[in-house]
Amino acid sequence: MVIDMNPILKPNNLTIGEQVVFPLFCNCPGNSYSDRGIKYLVTYVWQPGDDLLSVSNMFQASALDIDVENNNRNFTAAICLPVLIPVNSSPVLQQHFPPCPIGKKSKHHWLLIAILSTVVALLIVLSGVLVYIHLLYKKKRALARNDSSLETSDLIPTKKVSKDEIFEQKAIQDKLLPGVSGYLGKPIIYELHVIMKATMNLNERCRIGGSVYKATINDQKVNHANLVKLMGVSSDNDGNFFIVYEYAENGSLDKWLSPKSLSTSGTGEYLTWSQRLFIALDVANGIQYMHEHTQPSVVHKDIRTSNILLDSTFKAKISNFSTSRPATCSIMLKVDVFSFGVVLLELLSGKKVMEAKDNGEVVMLWKEIRGILKDDDRREERLRRWMDPNLKNSYPIEGASKLGNLGKSMHIR
C-alpha cells in the first residue's frame, strides 16, 4: 500500500529528507476507554518477533486492552499488519539511524573522480546519439504504419483521419481518450479546452458510443492505484477504436453485495469486515486524489458500487469516467462525497441504495440510516438487524456505528 501511494519513489533507494506518504489506519477511543483514562489508540505495524507482552511493555500499555481492542485476533498472523494500541499518553518512540561511514582520503581519490567523470561524459554523449537514432526510427515507422496496432503501457497510439476530421498527427507516447485515466507516472493536469479541441467540441463525428469520444491528447495522465488503469488502445482501417482496461478478477463491488449474485454462483463467498474497510478506504483515496491532487479538480459524478472494480486482492479501483468533468466550483465535488456515503452504507448493510418493500413503499438507504442510528436504548439492536447478515456479527458494533454515522453525515443538508 505504501508503494502504491508513492509511485515515483524507489523503496530501496530513499535519501534523508525525502517526503513519503504512509497511509495510517486510526481510531478514537470510545467512552469505555475514556472512563479508564485511555486517551489514544496508536496504530502500530506488528513486526516479526513481536509478542503481546513485548509490545505492551514498549508502549506502557495493558496487554489485555490490546487484545480486546483488536478483537482477540491471532497476533502471530498479524505480522506487517496494523494493530491498535490503547495508551494513556502519547508514547515517545525513538528511531536510531546508522552512523554515516567516513571515508579515508588517499592519493588515488582525485584520479578515481577524473576517471568516473570521463566515463559519465562518454555515456551521456552515447545516450544522446542513441535517442536521436531511436526518434528517427519511430518517426519513419509512424509514417509507414497503416495497419491496426495494439499498444500497451508504453504505447504510441495512431489514428486514421478522415478528410472531414483533420487532427495534427504526431507519434507521442501514452496518449489517452477523454474521461479515461492511465495510471503510470506522476499526475498531469488536463485543461478543458484541450479536451474540447481534441473532440471538436464533442462533435458527433468523434463519438464512439454513449458519452465516450475518440481523440488525441498531448502526453497527459491521471495516476492513482485506486483508479482503473488503461492498458492500451487500438484502431482498424475502418476508423473503429477500441479501449483495453486492466482486468479486475473479482468484478464489480455490487456483485459481492447482492445476495442474488452470490447465491447463483453457489460459492457462498462474501466480503469480510476487514475487506469492506479496505474497500471503503481505497474508494476514499481515489476520490481524494481526483478532488485534491489534480488541477483543476475532477468530479466523477457516478460513484456507485457497479463502477467500483475489485482486483485479485480485492483492492478497489474506481472505473467508468464517461461522466467525469472538471469541477468549476467546490459544490460540484459534493456529488462524489454524497455518492461515497451511499457506497459506505451499502458496504455496511449489504443492501441496495433503493429497495421496494412488499407494500410498495420505496426505501432510500441514506434516509433509512437516520432512523437506525436514532439515539435511544434500542439503537444497537436496530443497527445489528440492519447490518449485512453475511457478517454474522463478526464486526465491532462500535466501529459499525461510527461508520454508519460517517455515511449519514455525508447526506446532511
What are the residue numbers of the active site? 302
CB 194 within 8 A of CB 170: no
| d(C-alpha 333, C-alpha 289), whole Å | 12
| d(C-alpha 215, C-alpha 207), whole Å | 9
Q: What angle do CA 242, 297, 182 make, to 5 degrees?
A: 30
Reduced to 3 states (helix: H, G, I; strand: E, B; else coil), residue 305 is helix
Alpha helices in 305-354 (DSSP H): 330-349
| d(C-alpha 409, C-alpha 403), whole Å | 10
CB 296 within 8 A of CB 193: no
In the block, cell 457506497 appears at 343
| d(C-alpha 322, C-alpha 180), whole Å | 7
Nearby residues of 43 by Cβ (< 8 Å), 6 or more positions away: 24, 25, 26, 82, 83, 84, 85
Please report, for residues 54, 246, 302, 311, the alpha-carbon distance to residue 249 in angstroms, rounded to integers and kept in the order given: 40, 9, 22, 5
| d(C-alpha 113, C-alpha 107), whole Å | 11
In the block, cell 455525508 appears at 410
Reduced to 3 states (helix: H, G, I; strand: E, B; else coil), residue 321 is coil
